Amino acid sequence: MANALTVAAKLAIALVECQGLWPGIGLRAKKPRIRMNTHFSRIALVGKVEDARVADSLALLARHLRARGVTVFLDREAAIEGLPEGLVRRPVGELGQEADLIVAIGGDGTLLFAAQLALARDMPLIGVNRGRLGFLTDVLPDEMLANVDDVLAGRYQAERRRLLQARLVGAGGE
């Protein structure tokens, strides 16, 4: 039963994504279709670092951003080799409180988790696909640095999404 609910939820999420109804603001790097002057200098990185692919991408992006003078926020519990000096460590639930952009590295579940962090402040979010399918995360790992650089340079197209709320109700109304 739980497996069927998971599949149904994933299909519903994919459908909602295709219809443009997902929460928050998604950012996609685009070659200059829209040029915005928003400056992102404080970026939170979110990902399940137990996955070596996610940890490697997260460390690479953290080094890249720090080299550009960006303040990088990271989960204080994340133990990753190769991280640069000067990261701001916070509890994972607080990562979105001081940042002005969140980069979620992982699969769709990671992006959905990051969307919850971004929602309270209507913060933009970029999803780097290190999962299996990537319905919601649209930046490929090989394009991660170039896409983030495009966003930092103001070359991106913001996609505003609506919040969809759902509730499972059992047979007894619970």
Fold topology of 24-161? Rossmann fold (3.40.50)
The whole-angstrom distance between residue 95's C-alpha and the CA centroid of its chain comes to: 12
Question: In which band, very low, low, confident or very high, does the pLDDT at 38 lie, cut at 50, 70 and 90?
Answer: low
pLDDT, tens digit, for every residue of 97-124?
Answer: 999 999 999 998 999 899 989 887 888 9
CA distance 174 to 91: 33
CA distance 137 to 141: 10
Domain boundaries, the chain: 24-161
Q: What is the DSSP string of 45-63?
A: EEE-TTSHHHHHHHHHHHH
Q: Cα-atom radius of gyration of the chain, to the nearest Å?
A: 16
What pTM was computed for the model?
0.75
DSSP single-letter state for residue 83: P
Active-site residue list: 108
pLDDT, tens digit, for every residue of 149-174?
Answer: 999 998 888 887 777 778 888 887 77
